[in-house]
Amino acid sequence: MSGRTDDVSHYCRDGRPTSLDGMPATPALEIDALTVSYGATVAVDQLSLTVPAGRTVALLGANGAGKSTTLNAVLGLVPVSGGSVRVLGRRPLQAIRAGAVGAMLQHGGLPSEARVGEVIDLVRRSYPAAWPLDDLVATVGIDGLLGRPVDALSGGQRQRVLLAVALAGEPPLLLLDEPTAAMDVEGRRAFWATMRDLAGRGHTVVFATHHLAEADAVADRVVVVDGGRVVADGTTAEVKRGAGGRTISFTGVAQPRDDTLPGVTAVRVQGDRVVLTTNEPEATLRGLLAGGRLLPELEVRGASLEDAVLSLTHPADPAPAAPAPTGALR
Amino acid sequence: MNALLLFQLRRVGRNRQYLLFTVLLPALFTVFFTKVFGGAAAGGGYQEYATGSMVSMMAYGAMGAALGATIRLAFDRASGWLRQLRITPVPQGQVVAVEVAVGALLTLPSLVVVAAVGRFVNGVELPLGTWLALVAVLWVGSTAFVALGLLIGLALDEKAAGGAIGFVSVVLAMLGGLWVPVQLFPDALQTVARALPSYWYAELGRDVVAGSAPAPTGVLVLAGFAAVSAILGVLVATRRPLHAVSG
């Protein structure tokens, strides 16, 4: 494909990149105790995260959890109050100048009065090793759009063009901030198929999302962020297991007492159902029954990733969040 | 040629408003004012009036082009393009430098077209060297308004910037004597005119057509004005970088 770069370790397409002497390659991304504050608000709080090259990592969390701010700090778009960020061993701006990063931003956009092909051409020229145009167009699925004015694109087309811009320089590290927000179901499916393809070629992909299904389906590692901190980090299976194995649900009204049931890590109400996430389902059930309450339409099942994330980010205990109980969690 | 500069020029070429307001309108004004008011002046008076009116309209067109060119900064920030561009290897300094270059290039069509209309429609007669000097001096002088336009584009969001540029160019044109000669102003307004960069900008051109070098006062006023705008622009850009999310 590119074949034009000397820096093989960053572009390794086949398998996991390692340097030639067998030592582990420089991580694609190293965040160490990153802190970002907006005035008195701490958006990212001592967040640390290392992503080895070639991995696909989801940053999962609610709006305001600090995902976007973390990605923006990696790109040098926000002033950092503490900690450090290294992209392939470089500072953010150096990494950008070296063409090591491509990104789809939440507030990124395309210029008016320009054609799609002109925009992509401009961006490709700025990178040291541009992605061959035909292949880029086919990969991203923008055939037939190159001659179109940017102002005439549909929402989905616009997102694909923004992806093409992010990929134009064939960057080793790709950062995506809720990339599928404006896409329909079909667009999402196609998008993530492209991402898997990229990961297969050795690109490192870090994406922020609050779509759990996306994280579950695409990422080989999920980092759950809440309150600007990493609250869980592992494979989706590890995060599910670590966050309390089961949910117990029944029709009825949640009562404050539910919070004090043994083993419960989260309580939420879904329509007319109460859903308890618990890591001791038996003890929880016993507690519920001992309270003498009826449990119509009782259901006990393995927690979904969504349940896991909820129990991690909305702990039942109103006191400060206790550390989650397994090795998969920090 | 620099890829970004070429890219920006292509975009400008698609903007009909730019052509309308900075090239066609001043050219039409030149013909209109000269035919309406110049006809009343007899003999040598016509030549003098037609020349003065042409110089004023060259200044008006170039000023509008310089101010209008830089509003793209505000639009490109609002659309998120500057933020997107910031995470490509294109250096940020180049983004600003290209805006300055585009602003400077865009003033040329206004100057040349209005001069051509003055020469071939209104019959203004000047030696060839004076024609060239006139365009050159007004071209260099227009950088003061490129700097002002950059400042406005950096400081304001796109809607406000559009309004501000419209307002500023009307005020500078009207009170600076670009539409109606300053000699017809009451004394108080003449004092106001002499405090405006637009007056001194046109004055550079009047000096040239009178056969002399631009007076130092005008040069200094415009240079000072450009420097103040540029410094304020740098301060604004430091507080609120190009890639800041608008709004």
| Confidence label for A320 from pLDDT (cuts 50, 70 and 90) | very low
- Residue A119 C-alpha, separation from nearest chain B C-alpha, in angstroms: 8
| Residue A2 falls inside a structural domain | no
Say what percent of chain A tops pLDDT 90.
42
**At which of A217, A234, A251 does a domain end?**
A234
Of A108, A113, A128, the CB nearest to B14: A113
CATH of the domain at A267: 3.30.70
8 Å CB contact of B89 and A107 = no
A114 close contact with B: CB closer than 8 A = yes
| Residue A5 falls inside a structural domain | no
If you average pLDDT over residues A235-260, what whole number do you get? 71
**At which of A182, A216, A234 does a domain end?**
A234
8 Å CB contact of A102 and B76 = no
| Residue A48 falls inside a structural domain | yes
CA atoms within a 13 Å half-sphere pointing along the CA-CB vector of A8: 7
* Residue B44 DSSP SS3: helix
Residues A117 and A244 in one domain: no
Of A34-43, B39-48, B70-79, B111-120, where does mean pLDDT reach its minimum? Answer: B39-48
Q: Which amino acid is at A249?
A: S
8 Å CB contact of B76 and A111 = yes
Residues A96 and A185 in one domain: yes
Q: Residue B134: is its pLDDT beyond 90?
A: yes
Of B15, B86, B245, the CB nearest to A113: B15
Per-residue pLDDT of B24-46, as tens digits, reads 888 898 888 888 877 666 566 88
Domain of A223, in residue numbers = 10-234
Q: Strands across the sheet with A246-251, in order?
A: A264-270, A273-278, A246-251, A299-302
Residues A152 and A244 in one domain: no
* CA atoms of A12 and A19, how far apart (whole Å): 10
Q: In the predicted model, what is the mean pLDDT of chain B?
A: 91
| Residue A320 falls inside a structural domain | no
8 Å CB contact of A128 and B89 = yes
Residues A117 and A32 in one domain: yes
Residues A29 and A84 in one domain: yes
Residues A246 and A210 in one domain: no
A146 close contact with B: CB closer than 8 A = no
If you average pLDDT over residues A7-20, what whole number do you get? 43
8 Å CB contact of A127 and B4 = no
Of A111, A122, A168, the CB nearest to B79: A111
Query: Looking at chain A, how many residues does it have?
Result: 330
Residues A145 and A245 in one domain: no
| Residue A270 falls inside a structural domain | yes
**At which of A179, A203, A234 does a domain end?**
A234
Residues A263 and A149 in one domain: no
- Chain A residue with minimal CA distance to B241? A77
A77 close contact with B: CB closer than 8 A = yes
| Confidence label for A17 from pLDDT (cuts 50, 70 and 90) | very low
Handedness of CA B136, B140, B143, B145 (dihedral sign): negative
Residues A291 and A200 in one domain: no
Where in chain B does DSSP place strands (E)? Answer: none
Residues A260 and A150 in one domain: no
CB A230 within 8 A of CB A328: no
Distances, alpha carbon B82 to alpha carbons A135, A161, B93, B145, B215, in Å? 26, 16, 12, 22, 40
CATH of the domain at A94: 3.40.50.300
| Residue A319 falls inside a structural domain | no
Of A254-263, B117-126, B195-204, where does mean pLDDT reach its minimum? Answer: A254-263
| Residue A195 falls inside a structural domain | yes
Residues A191 and A244 in one domain: no
Residue closest to A110 by CA, chosen among B156, B7, B162, B149: B7
Task: Read off φ and ψ for residue B61, nearest 5 degrees.
Answer: -65, -45
8 Å CB contact of B89 and A165 = no
Residues A112 and A252 in one domain: no
Per-residue pLDDT of A74-100, as tens digits, reads 999 999 999 999 999 999 999 999 999
8 Å CB contact of A101 and B87 = yes
Of A308-312, B75-79, B218-222, where does mean pLDDT reach its minimum? Answer: A308-312
**For testing contact with chain B, the best of A113, A158, A165 (most B CBs within 10 A):** A113
| Number of domains comprising chain A | 2
Residue closest to B148 by CA, chosen among B180, B115, B107, B110: B107
What was the ipTM of the complex prediction? 0.86
If you average pLDDT over residues B193-217, what whole number do you get? 95
- Chain B residue with minimal CA distance to A71? B87
- Residue A227 C-alpha, separation from nearest chain B C-alpha, in angstroms: 22
Task: Read off φ and ψ for residue A33, nearest 5 degrees.
Answer: 50, 45
8 Å CB contact of B91 and A107 = no
| Residue A61 falls inside a structural domain | yes
* CA atoms of A89 and A50, how far apart (whole Å): 11
Which residues does chain A have within 8 Å of residue B89's beta carbon, measured at their own beta carbons? 96-99, 126-128, 169
Of B4, B14, B15, the CB nearest to A122: B4
* CA atoms of A71 and B83, how far apart (whole Å): 13
